Chains A and B, each alone.
Chain A
Amino acid sequence: MLRYFLSRIVMVVPTLLIIIALAFFLMRLAPGGPFDSERALDPEIAKNLRRIYKLDRPLLEQFWLYLQSLAHGDFGPSLHWRDFTVNQLFATALPISVALGTKAMLTAILAGTALGLVGAMSKGGIGPRLVDGAAIFGIVLPVFVVAPLLQLGFGLTLHILPVGGWNDGAWQNQILPVITLALPQIAIVARLMQAALIDALAMPHIRTLRAFGMPGFHITLHALRAAFPPVVSYLGLAAANVLTGSVIVETIFGIPGMGRYFVDGALGRDYTLVMGTVVVVAGAVLLFNLIVDLVLAWLDPRVRYESRS
């Protein structure tokens, strides 16, 4: 298991480096720069600004400087939020996105598993079709429709929850964003779980357990263990995605999370901010892939065995 873990971790560093290099040079291909806005700057002033931020240096030198500061854990100064370093921005935004994302993922896992279970267990009845229907509804309904509807319903009509704002993370302000983030995930988890469980329930070892007269609850547990791998594979990527923030949810609800930095950074050509978000997201994806690999290896000994041979 340890060797399996180490072999996975060794791959992380070169992968991350390639991603950083690609992002760095692709970003510079985009037309315009961080100082382009509706009110064009005096050319001399713009030149001076580029010098101050070392953007006048050759691109390769800039890349080398960036790697050096990154090696010290320094993402550099933000070019748009000029009073902050990218590290300072992330120090406030990342915990917020992680807090919301974790709650949304936990909701998705619990509700999705429960729904999938209900769908799979109700044999041949209307159950699976209901779950399928609800799930498709959850998947196709875009976040930018769900979020305003929730605001209208709970905020403006019922007056029981705030329409938006973060309010230092008060729980009232978290409910609607968490629901919005969780809904599509619930739908996907439910569908995956239902399909995997239906397969698992038809497996020979479950049939054997039934033949031995095991109680239904035990059989379900065994079936769940067999059904989890595809769900876990999906959850890894979904978690990396949800935990690093959603720009739409954050913009509509006015939440100061990570998601907005992707889009704001890219549109405003805030090079350091974009690079920072790329590193964080790439890091999260690699981390969750690693976790998924480990969980899969734990759930299914064949994974460990195959990788060793």
Chain B
Amino acid sequence: MSKGFGRHRRAFQCFLRGAAFFLAVNGLGLETNSGVAGGAPQPMIWHRGELGDPGSLDPHKATTLIESNILDELFEGLVTLNARGEIIPGAAASWTVDPTGTVYDFRLRPDARWSNGNRVTAEDFVFAFRRLMAPVTGAPYANILYTLKNAERINKGELPLEALGARALNETTLEITLEHPAPYFISQLPHLTAKPLHRKSIEAFGSDFVHPAHIVTNGPFMLEEFTPNDRVVMVKNPYYYDAAHVALDEEVFYSLEDRSAGLRRFMAGEIQSYDDVPVEQIGFVRSHLAEAFKVTPNLGSYFYAFDTRYKPFDDKRVRQALAMAIDREFLAERIWGGTMDAGYSFVPPGIPSYGTPATVAWKDSDPFEREDEAKKLLAEAGFGPRGQKLEVEIRFNNSENHRATAVAIADMWKVLGIETRLLATDATTHYAFLREKPPFDVARSGWFADYPDAQNFLFLGQSDNQALNAASFRNKTYDSMMHEAQVEASPERRRAILHEAEALLLDEQPYLVLLTYRSRNLVSPKLKGWEANVLDNHPGRYISIAP
């Protein structure tokens, strides 16, 4: 007995010694990693977790938010955004507009440089805009800059590249001619489609110019490594004109597609920020990470599209009734854990040039009155106790939150005597369905601003917007208002027209607005210079890390 015990004890001691050794080695390893042990000054690195993985770092092939966040660090357009998401001069120091509002002259900074020391010239912008529009490039978002003269026709192969409304007057002066006056043109320019490109490296390496060994950038950072599904490593660009004020030595984007794992890595200090949280753990996050959790309004709308082509949703009364019956505060607070706002407007609040958006007329009316009104509207349309039974199918892309939202809405509609079926598909199937547009009842959709302008939301209701008008909404008055706004040079009159258009859209309800997005970031208190903003854009240029 005692012998046996002794043997066990030795084994246990041996295990303990092994464990102690293991801990010591690991402790050292971690210490070196976090840079406590070194003698030389440690580089300042922002370890930044992002939901999703960049598919391309070519500004003309990129489409997603994470790609845009990375490209903003690597390339700087004529204008750029500060930490608050406001537009400030970028590669251009200043610009003028002619009285017609269609010709812009940009004067580039004399000290704007590429990461290889070359000057950033007007020709670099002309080259980039032409490449964006060249059909052979296949740029998915070329249409955002169809504001440039002849851009659309060039992109469709009807005109040569040289016809584009962008030319270099001299090395530092760029003249851009627009198709029509567009007061929102400057706000389009921070977009990834408007970045300059280094002509020589593209001519030398073709589409391989994006590889870290070849890429030449003009933003605050240079690309050092891009490993898909892992990380993008960027280092400070010494040639950047404002390099003296860039505190970070490195910025590393980690692709973290599992929100819970992302949360754990944030808590372990492996990343200093993460741009999402698992909604199902929102209670934990709020109670344990209150200081780090930043929930702020974002320029995004969450809505359902009605198929307005077919019965019964070609009837405005049915659409209105269904919209009125929904308790949006319940969805925002209970389903989304307060990470969304109740949505009563189509354009989310927070666009400076637009001011307070229009809202549905019944926004502040009593819920019971709304319910009675909804029942009345349905009865008028021939549904309800004395009419037909209304059956609705909600299609959505599969995710827990979308499902929970649809279940809650089905329950809210039950009060109106509506029977609701849910149909979930994977995201690609869902979006392909919306593109092909076979008949449907109700489908989930959403929209995030490409650039902060009301037109960038309201164009979803234009009948000529084939790709994005998910509701197939056709309304001549609305179309003519939108076209009027498009060519209106006066910002005040344009704003008034757009407000009127939004009011019409909300009255017609082709889109059932449910919620507006809020960005949900985890930000370590050590991260200085991070400011919440509606674009959820956080340039590394302004970030520093406290020890």
Contact = CB atoms under 8 A, between A and B. Distances in A.
A113 to B, nearest CB: 20
B432 A36 contact: yes
A170 B33 CA distance: 11
Contacts of A44: 155-156
B433 A31 contact: yes
A165 B254 contact: yes
A164 B138 CA distance: 36
B200 interface: no
Nearest to B450: A39
A76 interface: no
A41 B431 contact: no
Interface string A44-64: 111011001000000000000
A159 B468 CA distance: 48
Contacts of B426: 267
B228 interface: yes
Contacts of B261: 148, 151, 163-164, 251-254
Contacts of A172: 26, 29-30
A204 to B, nearest CB: 36
Interface string B180-193: 00000000000000
Contacts of A80: 55
B509 interface: no
A41 B58 CA distance: 17
Contacts of B207: 83
Contact of B428 (A36, A156, A165, A257): A36
B235 to A, nearest CB: 16
Interface residues of A, number: 57
Contacts of A43: 466-467
Interface stretch (B93-101, B263-271, B522-530): B263-271
Contact of A164 (B136, B143, B265): B265
Interface in A1-56: 30-33, 35-46, 48-49, 52
A30 B61 CA distance: 24
A101 to B, nearest CB: 17
Interface in B136-184: 136, 138-140, 142-143, 155-156
Contacts of B484: none
A39 B255 CA distance: 21
B63 A31 contact: no
A170 B61 CA distance: 33
A81 B156 contact: no
A31 B142 contact: no
A93 B63 CA distance: 24
Contact of A254 (B155, B255, B466): B255
Interface string A134-175: 000000000000001001100110011111111100101000
Interface in B217-236: 226-231
Interface in B10-67: 22-23, 26-27, 29-30, 33, 53, 55-58, 61, 63-64
B264 A170 contact: no
Interface in B238-255: 254-255
A240 B467 CA distance: 43
B210 interface: yes
A92 interface: yes
B228 A256 contact: yes
B265 A254 contact: yes
A53 B303 CA distance: 33
11 contacts: A37-B63, A37-B64, A44-B156, A45-B140, A49-B138, A82-B56, A148-B260, A163-B264, A163-B265, A165-B265, A261-B229
Q: Which 10 A/B pairs are nearest by Cβ-Cβ distance? A: A32-B432, A256-B230, A82-B56, A32-B428, A256-B229, A40-B467, A36-B432, A163-B268, A31-B429, A52-B138
Given A159-B30, A161-B26, 13 more contacts: A32-B428, A36-B432, A37-B428, A40-B467, A82-B61, A83-B226, A92-B227, A92-B228, A163-B270, A172-B29, A251-B261, A254-B258, A267-B426
Interface of A: 30-33, 35-46, 48-49, 52, 80-84, 89, 92-93, 148, 151-152, 155-156, 159-167, 170, 172, 250-257, 260-261, 264, 267-269
